[in-house]
Amino acid sequence: MRRDLVLATRHKSEWLTALFFFVMVTNLLPLGVGPEVSLLRKIAPGVLWIGALLSTLLGLQRLFSSDHGDGTLEQMALSPVPLAWLVAGKMVTHWLVCGLPVVLMAPLLGLQFDLPARSLGILVLSLLLGTPILSAVGALGAALTLGLRGGGALLSLLILPLYIPALIFGAGAVEADLSGISPQGHLSLLGALLVLSVFFSPWVTSLALRIALE
């Protein structure tokens, strides 16, 4: 994992791309639907969440592919350290590089959509709980599509349906808060999803990697 972080710092463009993508997508939307404040506030949770979702997709394709290309992945599979552990490390790195900047940027973009301060807090909290799910589930898709033709499009097709629960509960939490309902139910369900995906995904992903390596 430390190695991946070092690599990431030497590849600044990678995480900057994800961040800029997030900013661009969410900023294009008001241009598409018009600047009416009440409408923008209504769609803000969904827009910000979908922006976050799409920008994590960007980094996923490269999650295993460079290690696959240069043979490092084989060495990882042969290591006495369980592959699931190494995979978990890569997921954490992906989250730190693609997820965390998005979480930190979100309140600023929320301001553009005129979200009240309380909802901004909920937005950050929901993204904080939700983006690791995206990294964990996304890693599975990346492992399944490793080295395939049209891997990127295929990855989205496989992964986006699985992102739906996270999207619903994440954006739902902010929406609930906006309409004056307690977002606690949404957030605890999101937390449950987080626990499930973080617990199982490294293991399933390592199986998928072994299949891909054959």
Q: Which residues are at the interface with another protein (CB under 8 A)?
A: 2-3, 6-7, 10-11, 69-72, 74-81, 86, 140, 144-145, 148-151, 154, 157-158, 160-162, 164-165, 168-169, 172, 175-176, 189, 193, 204, 207-208, 211-214
Least distance (Å) between residue 95 CB and another protein: 20
Q: How far apart are the first and last CA of the chain?
A: 24
**Number of helices followed by number of strands (H, E) in the chain:** 9, 0
Least distance (Å) between residue 24 CB and another protein: 26
Least distance (Å) between residue 93 CB and another protein: 13
Nearer to another protein, 12 or 35 (CB): 12
For the purposes of burial, counting CB atoms within 10 Å of the CB of 120, is it exposed (0-12), middle (13-18) or buried (19 or more)? buried
Nearer to another protein, 80 or 180 (CB): 80
For the purposes of burial, counting CB atoms within 10 Å of the CB of 8, is it exposed (0-12), middle (13-18) or buried (19 or more)? middle
Least distance (Å) between residue 105 CB and another protein: 26
CB 106, CB 124: distance < 8 Å: yes
